[in-house]
Amino acid sequence: MEKLKPTCREIHRLVSEGMDRDLTLVERTRMRLHLMVCGACTRFNGQMDTLRRAMRNFPLGGDDGDK
């Protein structure tokens, strides 16, 4: 039964790994079920999503405005 109930630590790992690779169907399902009942992990997932979007919008190229 413990295999069906992931810990918050495992969910944090899956959220982070999901940024680098596609999660398996089982991993995604376990994560979604956990997020439905755990507010702390839901907040963590939202924070990681915010960071991911901010980094995608971060300007690259070293242009610091000195021209």
More confident residue, 52 or 66: 52
Write out pLDDT tens, residues 4-29.
Answer: 688 999 999 999 999 899 999 999 99
Write out pLDDT tens, residues 34-65.
Answer: 999 999 999 999 999 999 999 888 887 655 55
The answer, yes or no, to whether residue 67 has pLDDT greater than 70, is no
CA distance 23 to 34: 15
Distances (CA, A) of 52 to 31, 37, 46: 18, 23, 10
- Residue type at 32? R
Domain-wise residue ranges, the chain:
8-54
